Amino acid sequence: MNEKTLDLQAISNIFKDHKAEPLFKLRRFAVLALLTEKNGELCFVLNKRAMGVRQPGDICFPGGHHECGERLEQTALRETEEELGIPQNAITVLGKSDYMLTIYGGVIQPFLGYVCYEVMRCSCPNAQEVAEIFTVPISYFMETPPEIHDMVWEAVGPDTFPYHRIEGGKDYPFAKSRIPELFYEYKSHTIWGFTAQVIQNIIDLLNEK
């Protein structure tokens, strides 16, 4: 369509049934907040990332990048088997919690799942990705409020950024984003960041219901 044939009706025809999408293409991720029952108590299954991977030493749920042709639920199950060695058919998917939009241009969907403790205990995690697997009772998070520490993110342009084309240049009032970071301390483990946010969201939903 060229400019000469563009009229109000043509614009209406284009936009009236348009399905809105994010202006920037989002990368899609999925994680599995895995539950098991240990000594008669429901627990989260968490893992400590190996030192040779991105974000080494962090406590997290299994998960990763969505691959073409699979549903996000399948992403969460596949990554759990690849990282923790737990067969996908041994996991019961219970549902999903709220998703997160990240400042890095991604959307992360957490799912909840359950695995028998004996299956989890006998699993063989991928040593290149996982240093340790451990459990934390859900009751700990229900009884222990997280520490909250704000982190501020601000725009920083490279030297080649054309500040001279903006009114105010480098003094332009770029928006800053203040994000509350949650911290839990469980025994020798610090649980923070996205994992803590997912856990807190699950606890909040449990308390609401």
Is 45 within the bounds of a domain?
Answer: yes
Within-domain flag for 12: no
Find the CATH number of the domain harbouring 198: 3.90.79.10
How far, in Å, CA of 62 to CA of 58, rounded?
12
Note whether residue 43 is domain-resident.
yes
Structural domain count, the chain: 1
Per DSSP, the chain holds a count of helices (H) and strands (E) of: 5, 11
Does residue 16 sit within a domain?
no
Q: 0.75 cut: is pTM over it?
A: yes
pLDDT band at residue 128 under the 50/70/90 scheme: very high
Mean pLDDT of the chain, nearest integer: 93
Residue at 79 is within a domain: yes
Q: Tell whether 17 is covered by a domain.
A: no
Amino acid 58 reads D
pLDDT in tens, 150-196: 999 888 889 899 999 999 999 999 988 888 999 999 999 999 999 99
Alpha-carbon dihedral of residues 60, 97, 108, 178, nearest 10 degrees? -80
Residue 46 vs residue 176, higher pLDDT: 46
154 within a domain of the structure (yes/no) = yes
- Does 200 fall in a domain? yes
What is the residue type of 147? E
Give the residue numbers spanning the domain of 52: 24-208
